Structure 1
Amino acid sequence: MSAATQWRPMGQGNVDAVANMSDQVHGSYTERPAIYAERLRLYPAGCFLLERDGQALGYLVTHPWAGDRPPALDQLIGVLPDEPDRYYLHDLALLPEARGTGAAAAAVDLTVAQARAAGFDRITLTAVNGADAFWRRQGFVDALVAASSYGADSVSMVRLL
C-alpha cells in the first residue's frame, strides 16, 4: 500500500460514500446508509475509510459483538452488547482500483490491532460472494455456525488471536 493510500478514521460525512461503495462492491449483500451510520455512531473506533489523494477507495467497519449469531444483514442493531465476547468484522470493501495494493491485508492488521487493544481473543466475520478464500489466507477458519441472514453461500469464520 503506497504512502498516499491510507486507512483513516471514518466520519459521519463519509457514510454516503461508504454506502455507494457497498452498492458497487457487494451487489445483493449491500446495506442501507443507516446501517453504516449506526455502526459508526455505536463504535467509531472500529470504522475506517481508505483514501488516496482525497478519494474514497474502501471502508472497514468493525465492532465488539456477543454470541455466535452475527448481526443480521441490513438490520440496525440498536446498541452494542453489554458483555461482548468477540470482535466482529462487519464489512470490508475495496473498489477495484484499491485491490492488489495491500490495502485489504492492512485492514486485517488494523482489525487485529483493534481487537487486541479492546481485549478480545477472537475476530469473527461472515464471508460472502466467495470471499472465504481471501479470509482463509488471512488466518480465518470456518466456524461451526450458520450465517442464515446472509444466504446459503455465506460462510461464518473466526480467527483466534
Structure 2
Amino acid sequence: MKIRRMSPSDLPEVSRIQRECYSESLLETVDSFSAKLSVAPDFCFMAVQGELVVGYVVSLPWVFGEVPDLNGAAYLVPPNADSVCIHDMAVTPTARKAGAAEHMLDAVLDVARHRGYQRISLVAIQGASSYWMRHGFKIVNVGEPLKTDLSAYGQEAVYMAKTED
C-alpha cells in the first residue's frame, strides 16, 4: 500500500471512490473537493494498491467544535485554526482490509504533528464511530449550533476528536 499526497488530477478518482462508499445525499462535487485541496494540499492523501487508487483522505486545519460545510464551494483555513479536521476519508469496499485507512490516518496525524496541531476532529458517518473509537477518537458532546451543522452529514453523524501527545 502506497500513500501519497493528493493532486488535482486525482479528483476524478476521489469522485469514483465516494460514489462506491456513500449514499447519494452525502456526495460532494469535484469542485468542492478541489476547493478543500487548494487550501490544504499538505493534509490530503491518496492510497494506491498496485496501480489502483483505493482510498483518499481530505483534511484541513480548522477550529475545534466547528465543521466545514458539506459540499461547499469555497473554503479558507481559519486564521484561528487550532486543530485538524478530517473532513472525509473513504476506502473502496474491496480494499478495506488492506490497511489503507490506517496508513492514510497515520499520514494525516504525522503532518498535523509536524505543523503543531495536537487535536484532530472529524464527523463519523454511516455508523463509522466504532472504527474511529478503535483509533483513539472519542465522541464529543456538542451544542445546538454544531448539531444543526451535523444534520447535513446524516442522522447518524457524530462529532469525534482525539488529542495527540
| TM-score, normalization by structure 1 | 0.92
Is 1:101 equivalent to 2:98 in the alignment? yes
Indicate the percent of aligned positions where both proteins have the same amino acid: 30
The aligned counterpart of 2:82 is 85
1:1-161, aligned counterparts within 5 Å?
A: 5-27=1-23, 28-145=25-142, 146=147, 147-161=150-164
The count of residues paired between Structure 1 and Structure 2 equals 157
- Cα offset for 1:72? 1.8
- Cα offset for 1:133? 0.6
> What whole-Å deviation, never above 9, does each CA across 1:79-131 have from its counterpart, x for those lacking one?
11112011110111000121111111112211211111111110000000000
| Matched AA of 1:63 | L
| Matched AA of 1:129 | Q
Task: Tell me how large the CA RMSD over aligned residues is.
Answer: 1.3
Q: Which runs of 4+ in 1 moved over 6 A?
A: none
- Cα offset for 1:157? 0.2
| Matched AA of 1:154 | A
| TM-score, normalization by structure 2 | 0.90
Specify every segment of 5 or more residues in structure 2 that has no aligned partner in the other structure, as ranges: none
SS, match of residue 80 in structure 2: coil
Cα separation, 2, equivalents of 1:157 and 1:87: 12
